[in-house]
Amino acid sequence: MSNTNLIISDIQSLEVNSGFVSLYELEWSSSTTLYFHPGVSSEVRVAAIVGTQITLNTSQTIASGITLTFSGYTEAGVATTQQTTASASVNNSTTLNVASATNLKVGMTITGTGILNIDYSPIVFNGNTYYAMPIELSNFDIKSEGAMSRPRLLIANIESILRDTSLFQNADDGGTDGISSFKIDDLIGKRFIQRRTLEKYLTIDPSTVSTKAVVELPKRTYVIDRIKTKTSSVINFELVNPADLEGISIPHRSVIGKYCPWEYQGLSFTNPVGACTWPTGGDVTVKLNESGTLNTKTYRLYFTENDEPILWWGLVHDTDGSVKSGYTYADSTQYPKGRVLALSDGSGGFTYWRANILISSSNTTDPSPTNTNWQQCRLWRPWHSSSSFAVHATHSERNDYVAHPCSSVSSSTDTSFTLDSTATIYRAVVASTGKTPGPFSDHWTRGDFCGKILSSCKKRFQATIGSGTNITTVPLSETDSAAGALPFGGFPGSRKHR
């Protein structure tokens, strides 16, 4: 039980002899709460002066006769320094008697033997350890009528600070790491609590549980409603009162006509989200071939968010990087349905296309996004730590794609590697060598990604295979409803739209 009467007496006194502190708690789940504070000054200052007795903002242990230096500014704004001596010893006390308090002012900083500038990160309050983090809570407004206020929460745009790979820790005496696979968007809907107290009611040593009484003002509780603005340095969240029902509909779920609300591959997560059952590695073992007969071969199906197939680089290229004979597009040449070809872009590079129909030898129309006889494709290579991966100068969708994780890879042009069961496709964001792909990498982003529309679901769950198996799989443009049911369009609604 917290004591609010004592702190109210403190702040209603003529002079408040301790700094005011805000502490924050983020309820991540029913079993996990993160604790942090915006930072507390470590300087020792004069909080009050009565005769020759001064009150400090933090407890100190000082011997009698020690010379103390007081630094600050005069009323004219001129820097000044005063010295005096401690007239009596004190032990872990905020009050100190000095030989003379002449010219000493409230707010001056104090230095000298025995004066300790205390590091307030981390700090302990009510048995919980709070860690310093760049954060600001503002825009409070208490009204008796009208709409409830929506406070603003500003935090540094460094989402890695809350991940389990960072030094940020939960408040169980430093024993638990941060949140696994954390993303800023995951904060939407979380409960955020502000606790307010004075510095003198904090415990500074995080290795021990606080034995001080819980003295604080009433808690403020909010729910993180949305990301209002986001820049490279700061994220601005808008908070709402839990009792604020503005915008709430009954029944409380979103009905979306075009986009699938399920999170892509969500059922395969450690903590399942939604009902999308598409496997993490994009591997399926039962699919229809073009003749409509069932088979039990294993295929790998990857697509971009624009439903473009992502195929193995080795289908078109030899290990030296050159295009295989017969796989460079040429006019007036017959190509079978499903053939994947390289088309020169005129600048030393290639774009890649799959024939959607049998291309006759009389054809003279090049593949293009508007030519329905062709489907543009992207090509992936197995990721290898010594291989370099590039980005395109003007079109990010033409950046290099890789599959990861893979086994027995000697180079990115290897042909004898094995895709792991969880292997997925990543697209380069910046050129790199030796930067491991991952969902939180600064060098890579997901390449295999659902477009959230019905056709994206059908491309996967109702695919027909033109040729190949496993890494050599080439899906056709057609889909077949007999191949399987679609999970598209379930509920409850989510924010994970395209």
| DSSP code string of 259-325 | S--SPTTGGGSSS--SS----TT-EES-EEETTS-EE---EE--B-TT--BEEEGGGTB-TTSPBPT
More confident residue, 270 or 28: 28
More confident residue, 260 or 379: 379
Q: Determine the Cα–Cα distance for residues 361 and 63; give it in Å rounded to an integer.
A: 99
Residue 407, judged by CB atoms within 10 A of its CB (0-12, 13-18, 19+), counts as exposed
Phi, psi of 221 (to 5 degrees): -120, 130
- The full set of domains in the chain, from first to last, is 4-38+120-240 (no CATH), 43-116 (2.40.10), 283-329+377-479 (no CATH)
Q: Which residue pairs, CB below 8 angstroms and at least 24 apart, start in 205-214?
A: 205/124, 206/122, 206/123, 206/124, 206/129, 206/173, 206/174, 207/173, 208/124, 209/124, 209/127, 209/173, 210/124, 210/125, 210/126, 210/127, 213/3, 213/6, 214/1, 214/2, 214/3, 214/125, 214/126
- Entry field: residues in the chain: 498
Task: Say if residues 278 and 287 touch (Cβ distance below 8 Å).
Answer: no
Tokens at 163, concatenated: 């991940």
The pLDDT assigned to 327 comes to 96
Q: Which residue type sits at 171?
A: A
Percent of the chain with pLDDT over 70: 81
Most confident of 31-45, 61-75, 111-125, 248-262: 61-75
Element (H, E) at 474: strand 474-479
Q: Is the pLDDT of residue 192 over 60?
A: yes
Closest CA to 275 of 52, 442, 51, 485: 485
More confident residue, 365 or 145: 365
Q: Determine the Cα–Cα distance for residues 154 and 187; give it in Å rounded to an integer.
A: 13
User: Residue 474 pairs with which residues in a beta bridge?
Assistant: 467
Mean pLDDT of the chain: 82
Give mean pLDDT, residues 369-395.
95
Q: Cα Rg for the chain, rounded, in angstroms? A: 32
The pLDDT assigned to 90 comes to 92
The pLDDT assigned to 307 comes to 95
Q: Is the pLDDT of residue 492 over 50?
A: no
- In this prediction, residue 216 has a pLDDT band, given cuts at 50, 70 and 90, of confident
The pLDDT assigned to 169 comes to 41
- In this prediction, residue 405 has a pLDDT band, given cuts at 50, 70 and 90, of very high
The pLDDT assigned to 108 comes to 86
More confident residue, 438 or 161: 438
Closest CA to 269 of 456, 441, 439: 439
Range in 7-21, 320-334, 372-386, 401-415 with the lowest mean pLDDT: 7-21
User: Scanning the structure block, which residue is given the tokens 């024993």?
Assistant: 175
Give mean pLDDT, residues 219-246.
85
The pLDDT assigned to 398 comes to 95
Q: Determine the Cα–Cα distance for residues 109 and 54; give it in Å rounded to an integer.
A: 12
User: Scanning the structure block, which residue is given the tokens 């990301």?
Assistant: 227
What's the count of helices (H) and strands (E) in the chain, helices before strands?
Answer: 2, 30
- Using a cut of 0.75, tell me whether the model's pTM lies above it: no
Q: Is the pLDDT of residue 206 over 60?
A: no
Task: Say if residues 323 and 352 touch (Cβ distance below 8 Å).
Answer: no
Angle among Cα 398, 399, 401 to the nearest 5 degrees reads 105
Angle among Cα 279, 280, 283 to the nearest 5 degrees reads 55
Task: Say if residues 437 and 427 touch (Cβ distance below 8 Å).
Answer: no
CB neighbours of 157 closer than 8 A, spacing ≥ 6? Answer: 184, 230, 231, 232, 233, 234, 235
The three-state secondary structure class of 195 is: strand
pLDDT digits (tens, 9 = 90+) for 452-486: 888 999 999 888 989 998 999 999 999 877 777 78
The pLDDT assigned to 147 comes to 67
The pLDDT assigned to 253 comes to 55
The three-state secondary structure class of 381 is: strand
Give mean pLDDT, residues 280-293.
69
The three-state secondary structure class of 258 is: coil
Task: Say if residues 475 and 448 touch (Cβ distance below 8 Å).
Answer: no
